[in-house]
A and B are shown apart, each in its own frame.
Chain A
Amino acid sequence: MTRVLVPVAVLEGESVSPGLMSLLGGVDVTVLGYHVLPEQTPPDQARLQFEERATSALEDLSQEFRAAGGAADHRLVFTHDREQTFDRVADEAEADAFAVPGTTGDVDRVLVSLSGDVDVDSLLSFVEALVGGRDIGVTLFLAGGDAPPTAPSDGAAADAGDGATADAGDDDAARLAAAADRLSEAGIDADTTLATEGSPFDALIDAVPGHDAVVMGERAPSFRSLVFGDESGRIAAASVGPVLVVRDRRDAEKEA
């Protein structure tokens, strides 16, 4: 079963918008309530004081998720390091994706970004599981010029079959078409958008209007993400709506 980790800064009053809740109705959810403490405060001290309050808020949240459809559980973590906590809990819960909660109403259309070196295969499987049989449209988005040198491990591009001879633009188009075909076969209404100009980041933000949520792949930390912050966080901030980041588990599979 597909599982999504939904981190919520529970003691800071952060919540999950009804739109995201119903979007995740088709999958299992782990609500991760977390509270980041300054270094001078022992996490245990904060737990003693705030555990009850946080737990009752988390119970309410997972109750609402269950009402929206899927199975839901919750965990509460006190930490000094948010990212370390997300990574650890995502691993332990075997989550396929984690959510950056944003604000949205009913979700009618989802923007799926295939840009960059992402695990297209698991991204598309996730979208299939997420949308399920529901009436939610998908726009597949690819920013041209951002694709890495054609990687044979790239599932969708390999399906397209003509990567070896075509130039970069045709290759991108073929990747998109193959992905759209796969979703259509699964009964999902899929459009494609190929952006050829501007930076991939700006192009993606420009494509957001008309969509209620963004699905993207996790990318290895780059120099840019170190300077400007995590890409998914920047996209979440710029698009206002929720972002679902599908975890890249290709490395994990190789190691296993």
Chain B
Amino acid sequence: MTDEPRGRNLDGDAPVAERVVETEEATITEGAELERTIGLSGGLAIGIGTMIGAGIFVFPGLAGGEIGTAAAASFAVGGVIALLVALPTSELATAMPRSGGGYYFVSRGLGTLAGTVIGLSLWLGLVFATAFYLVGLGFYALDALAQIGLTVGAEPGGIVSAIAVLAGVAFTVLNVTGTENAAKLQNGIVALLLSMLVAFLGFGLLEAFGVVAVDTPPGEAADVWEAVPILSVAALVFTSYLGFAQVATVAGEMKDPGRNLPLAMVGSVLIVTVLYVLTIFVATSVFQRNALLAAGETAMVEVGRALLGPAGALVIIAGGLLATMSSANASILSTSRAIYGVSKDALLPRRASRINLRYGTPHVALGMAGGPVIVLAATRQVQLLAEVASFLHLVMYGLMCVALVAIRRDRPEWYDPEFVVPGGPVVPVLGALASFGLIAFMNRLSIAVGTAVIAVTAGWYFYYARDVELKGAL
């Protein structure tokens, strides 16, 4: 094993290799320094902001409609799996505090084939996730229109697609032209969302335990407390937890990464898990299954209306719009970073990561994110998009855990993580088993689409980058 990547791709490019020194305040390469500018709160905002978005506003109707209050357990299962993956990811990220995230760890731990598959399916997984967020945004926008008295005719689906596509175009353009304060705006939105959710949950919990009484329609449908339905709903809603590993993709920009990376990753998983479980608990105690199912993607609006009247509905609509927007925006951004990671290692043509000097943004990569997002968003397949996104991420999460075990066994000279997962290989092994296991509970169609994506990415490796060697390199 060497500690430098080697080989050439079909275009004759080799992976970029260089000596790098990491300090707490900067990353120093041979001729330049990269400033570390993101603190702990910035890292938490990335993790929470990517996760908190669309999932919790779109899933209560779908998940609660299937199994009722038991859906709270599904979200808890998702949270535990996310935590089992977040711990090994933290160890890897503090050992390699560079931008690149999951792709980087898998390619170094398990080699180029696994790396290519993960790098490319991370890109495509984020594309599916973004499309899912945009469709959710479309449903919420439709509700907002209804709220101000604009009723839509017999074909609301077409409107949802149109809104989703337009929003996809808008976010791509926004990211290409470079908004200087995008991240600050994002942080503001996350803070606003958190405070709205906490206030809403406070009232909802009072109601659920009978302190405050509101009239909710009676229903007969009972909750389904059985393992298989709970796990299959967990597989569906796992999309809500995609995002904690995005913190690792900005590892190279984070101050004091040895401390801030694990705190931001584990912290954001814990915070959103609590919020999700409580939100689902409140939603499913206000409405029975059949009512939630009837309300569909925007069931949360009805929950808000039942608890707090029209004002409650408005708050949820506003929250849903903000959340789906911030998730979509954050994911398009992460996608372009994922493309940069693979292109630097010569697994994609180098021009994919070009930056334009006028705006300073990676326009090619953003286009490679935005284009397919728009096509997928037009399909309006909420469940399929969410599950394929989950599938592709779960494969990456599982392989990251495997990569940790492999790297620990190989012990390359440079491997010196500041954060070490306690309990030996137990946590990463459990994390891998849980990630791969959850996939088994998905829809057949989602598994088929996900598997097809993986097959295509593997095919790309054999065609384009078979000679590139990344295993064990730093």
Contacts and interface: CB of A to CB of B under 8 A. Distances in A.
A39 interface: yes
A11 B354 CA distance: 16
B11 interface: no
A48 B178 contact: no
A77 interface: yes
28 contacts: A36-B360, A37-B360, A38-B178, A38-B180, A40-B333, A40-B336, A40-B361, A42-B99, A42-B253, A42-B337, A43-B34, A43-B35, A44-B99, A44-B340, A46-B360, A47-B29, A50-B357, A54-B32, A55-B31, A76-B33, A77-B32, A78-B32, A79-B35, A81-B35, A84-B35, A84-B37, A88-B25, A89-B33
Given A42-B253, A42-B337, A51-B31, A79 B37 contact: yes
A72 to B, nearest CB: 16
Contact of B340 (A11, A42, A50): A42
Nearest to B249: A42
A42 B37 CA distance: 11
Interface of B: 16, 25-27, 29, 31-35, 37, 98-99, 175, 178-180, 182-183, 250, 252-253, 333, 336-337, 340, 344, 353-355, 357, 359-362, 366
A46 B27 CA distance: 14
B357 A11 contact: yes
B178 A40 contact: yes
Interface in A178-209: none
Interface string A73-92: 00111111100110011000
Contact of A46 (B178, B333, B355): B355
A49 B343 CA distance: 12
Contacts of A48: 16, 344, 353
Contacts of B182: 38-40
A45 interface: yes
Contacts of B361: 38, 40-41
Nearest to B27: A44
B203 to A, nearest CB: 35
A22 to B, nearest CB: 28
Given A44-B98, A48-B16, A79-B37, 18 more contacts: A39-B182, A40-B182, A40-B336, A40-B366, A41-B355, A41-B361, A42-B252, A42-B340, A43-B35, A44-B34, A44-B99, A49-B353, A49-B355, A51-B31, A54-B32, A75-B33, A79-B34, A88-B35
